Amino acid sequence: MTEWSYILAAYALTWIVLVGYVVHLGRRRRKVVRLVAALRSDGQPGAGGEP
């Protein structure tokens, strides 16, 4: 019976980590997209970047 609680814990943890990483991806993306949008609108177009 407790056998299944270990199995459940393993699968639950896997999904918590995967969903957590997706949330992390989304957060980072939203943050940088706003920042870049702001920088592009007040800086000159085409600024930044590397050769």
Partner 1 sequence: MTETVTGSGSGGVVAGSEGAPVDTREERAPADVAQLTRGKAIRALTPVGWLLLGLLLAAQLVAVWISPPDRDMGHLQKIMYVHVPALWTAFVLFFVVFVASLMYLWRRADRYDLVAASAAEVAVVLTGLGLVLGSIWGKPTWGVWWTWDPRLTTTAILFLLYAGYLALRSFTEDPERRARWSAAVGILAFLNVPIVYLSVRWWRTLHQVQSSPSTVDDPYVLGLRLNAIAFLLLGAYFVVRRYQTARLEREAEARVQEASLRGI
* Touching partner 1, residues 1-51 (CB under 8 A): 2-4, 6-7, 9-11, 13-14, 17-18, 21-23, 25-30, 32-37, 39-41, 43, 45-50
For every residue of the chain, which 3-state class applies, written as one string? CHHHHHHHHHHHHHHHHHHHHHHHHHHHHHHHHHHHHHHHHHCCCCCCCCC
- Residues near partner 1 (CB under 8 A), total: 37
d(CA 12, CA 7): 8
Which residues form the interface with partner 1 (CB under 8 A)? 2-4, 6-7, 9-11, 13-14, 17-18, 21-23, 25-30, 32-37, 39-41, 43, 45-50
